[in-house]
Amino acid sequence: MIILKSKSEIKLMEEAGKIVAGAHEAVRKAIAPGITTEELDRIAEDYIQSRGATPAFKGYMGYPASICASINEQVVHGIPGPVALKEGDIVSVDIGAFFNGYCGDAAKTHPVGKVSPDALRLIETAKEAFFSGLEFAREGYRLSDISHAIQVYVEGRGYSVVKVLVGHGIGQAMHEEPQIPNYGPPGRGPRLREGMTLAIEPMINAGAHEVATLHDGWTVVTRDGSLSAHYEHTIVITQGQPLILTQEG
């Protein structure tokens, strides 16, 4: 069942979203060669808690950290640790927070120092794929119109879409109905309605779409070792343009 949110609930999600956005900005400023992902995790957790919120990921199904930090060929769910980022790496950071019972969730991929033009193009494509999907996040469209737009943009740029991982509804739980694939034909699934809150999140690979999960049970990597990028925001369907809830300003 897809839960439509009231205006008061959306205001609470907006507050959670602002906290997530602030945590992302704090992490972005700290990303540089030599910093460890566990230091980034501490920065995000401290920021979230300083705003009276709770990290959404920590303890979720046993996950041990407050952020996911996925480096290079790691697609999602990289566990922060003592590994230091290196010049030329890219790192995907996923952050969620609960505030007054409601969740915000967003992810961004960052360059570490000077990176290759190919890596920058991949990062930019993941971001632009999100905004391609967002064009269809409006009343009257169907859910898969978002999915289709993402796939067309990504594959048009020569990349592949990860198919076994999806976006999701969000609200009082981090993962609600519906699931939102990043591929598929248009015109399928439920019609979008005002009050739907969704986490749209393209996950794209420079190589093939196949992925594998490492022995830690969390970290998802590209099977062919190619770079991967991730971009996500929590949004709400309105009577007009969709509203991004996890964006600063």
- Contact assessment for residue 136 and residue 146, using Cβ atoms and an 8 Å cutoff: yes
How far apart CA 231 and CA 179 sit, in angstroms, is 16
DSSP 51: T
pTM, to two decimals:
0.97
How far apart CA 235 and CA 160 sit, in angstroms, is 24
**Which mean pLDDT values do the consecutive 10-residue runs of the chain (249 residues) have?**
98 98 98 98 98 98 98 98 98 98 98 98 98 98 98 98 98 98 98 98 98 98 98 97 91
How far apart CA 140 and CA 42 sit, in angstroms, is 42
DSSP 61: G
Of 124, 120, 114, 125, nearest to 150 (Cα)?
125
Contacts of 3 (CB under 8 A, 6+ apart): 169, 171, 172, 176, 177
How far apart CA 41 and CA 79 sit, in angstroms, is 9
Contacts of 201 (CB under 8 A, 6+ apart): 107, 130, 167, 180, 182, 230, 231, 232, 233
Instruction: Give me the domains of the chain, ranges plus CATH numbers.
Output: 7-244 (3.90.230.10)
- Contact assessment for residue 101 and residue 56, using Cβ atoms and an 8 Å cutoff: no
Q: Please, is 34 exposed, middle or buried when counting C-beta atoms within 10 Å of its C-beta (0-12, 13-18, 19+)? A: exposed
Residue type, 148: H
Of 173, 36, 30, nearest to 105 (Cα)?
173
Return the pLDDT at 157: 98
Return the pLDDT at 248: 80
Return the pLDDT at 249: 61
Contacts of 177 (CB under 8 A, 6+ apart): 1, 2, 3, 168, 169
Return the pLDDT at 155: 98
Report the SS3 class of residue 56.
Answer: coil
Q: If you search the block for the tokens 């906290």, which residue do you land on?
A: 19
